[in-house]
Chain A
Amino acid sequence: MEPIIEINHIQFSYQEDSPNALTDVSLTINKGEWIAIVGHNGSGKSTLAKTINGLQMPQEGSVTVGGKQLSEETVWDVRKMVGMVFQNPDNQFVGATVEDDVAFGLENQGIERSEMQKRVTHALEQVKMTNFATREPARLSGGQKQRVAIAGVVALRPDIIILDEATSMLDPEGREDVIATIRKIKEENNLTVISITHDIDEAASANRILVMKEGRLYQEGTPEEIFSAGPELVSLGLDLPFPEKLKTALKARGVKVPERYLDEEGMMDWLWTSVLSK
Chain B
Amino acid sequence: MMNKLIFGRYIPGDSIIHRLDPRAKLVASFYFIAIIFLANNWQSYLCLGIFTFVAILLSKINLRFFFRGVRPLIWLILFTVILQILFTRGGTLYWSWGVFSLSEYGIQNGLFIFCRFILIIFMSTLLTLTTPPLSMSDAIESLLRPLHVLHVPVHEIALMLSIALRFVPTLMDETEKIMNAQRARGVDFGEGSLIQKVKAVVPLLIPLFVSSFNRAEDLATAMEARGYRGGEGRSKYRILKWSNRDSGVIVVFVIVTIGLIVLRT
Instruction: Mark A residues whose CB is within 8 Å of B.
Output: 50, 53, 55, 76, 79-80, 82-84, 86, 88, 90-97, 99-100, 103-113, 116-117, 120, 136-138, 152-153, 156
Contact = CB atoms under 8 A, between A and B. Distances in A.
Contacts of B169: 136-138
Nearest to A82: B225
Interface in B178-235: 214-215, 218-219, 221-229, 233-235
B170 interface: yes
B235 A110 contact: yes
A113 B234 CA distance: 11
Interface residues of B, number: 30
8 contacts: A53-B225, A79-B226, A91-B214, A92-B222, A94-B228, A107-B236, A116-B235, A117-B237
Contact of A113 (B165, B222, B239): B239
B222 to A, nearest CB: 4
B238 to A, nearest CB: 7
B255 interface: no
A166 B133 CA distance: 30
Nearest to B214: A91
Contacts of B173: 138
Contacts of B165: 96
B264 interface: no
Contact of B229 (A76, A88, A97): A76
Contacts of A100: 134, 237-238
Given A55-B221, A91-B218, A93-B166, A104 B226 contact: yes
A96 B134 contact: yes
Contact of A97 (B134, B225, B227, B233): B134
Interface string B132-151: 01100100000000000000
B227 A136 contact: no
Most A-side CB within 10 Å, residue of B134, B234, B235: B235
Contacts of B239: 113
B162 interface: yes
A92 B166 contact: no
Contacts of A108: 226-229, 234
Most A-side CB within 10 Å, residue of B137, B162, B222, B226: B226
A92 B133 CA distance: 20
Q: Which 3 A-B pairs have the closest CB atoms?
A: A138-B169, A92-B222, A91-B218
A110 B233 contact: yes
B163 interface: yes
A109 B227 contact: yes
Contact of B234 (A79, A95, A107): A107
Nearest to A80: B227
A96 B170 contact: no
Contacts of B235: 106-107, 109-113, 116
